[in-house]
Amino acid sequence: MSLEQLIERCKKNDAQAQSQLYKLYASKLFSICLKYSRNYAEAEDNLQDAYITIFKKFNQFKNQGSLEGWMKRITINTALQRYRSAGVFDIINEDQIEDVNVEVDDDNISIDFLLNIIQELPDRYRLVFNLYALDDYSHKEIANLLDISTGTSKSNLARARLILKDKIEQYKARPNSQSL
């Protein structure tokens, strides 16, 4: 079955087509959920909620742009929805912002370690870091998505980078870090 046929069948709430679409994109969307979740279980919940939204809104997909991109946006927004009303963001004066760069130039640091330390970030820092550093959103876009100021977005990114830099330096300083 072609992607166009699959889309049309999903628009008609065809359960078999929905199952096929799920299998086709679940791993990609789950990786997005992992980035924006505190842990694996929360990522699973976010994926399920994202697919519920995708199937409810499938008739809104107008075949303009890629289906995958449309589904990714819904998945990110679904994960962010958990945090929007939770008040996880502090309002920051832009004069307090200090830029921090995190360089990972060591082949001995695993992707699993990096994912774990990103997931350990406080919600407000993790969300902004992922949107900016991993998904290429601008601070203005992040501010609109999370209902915060651009200064708060910039500050949260700087603080996330500082925390990550410290954790990476601590990891590198451990004598047995080569084996992890």
Q: What is the mean pLDDT of each run of 10 residues along the chain (180 residues)?
A: 91 95 96 89 94 95 90 92 63 44 58 89 92 93 91 94 93 68
The pTM of the full predicted model, rounded to 2 decimals, is: 0.69
What pLDDT does residue 47 have? Answer: 96
How does pLDDT run across 70-79, given as a tens digit for each residue? 999 999 999 8
- Alpha carbon distance 118, 121 (integer Å): 5
Angstrom CA distances, 30 to 57, 129, 130, 173, stand at: 19, 18, 14, 32
For 38, other C-beta atoms within 10 Å of its C-beta total 14
Closest listed residue to residue 33, CA positions, set 18, 21, 49:
49
How does pLDDT run across 53-72, given as a tens digit for each residue? 999 999 999 888 899 999 99
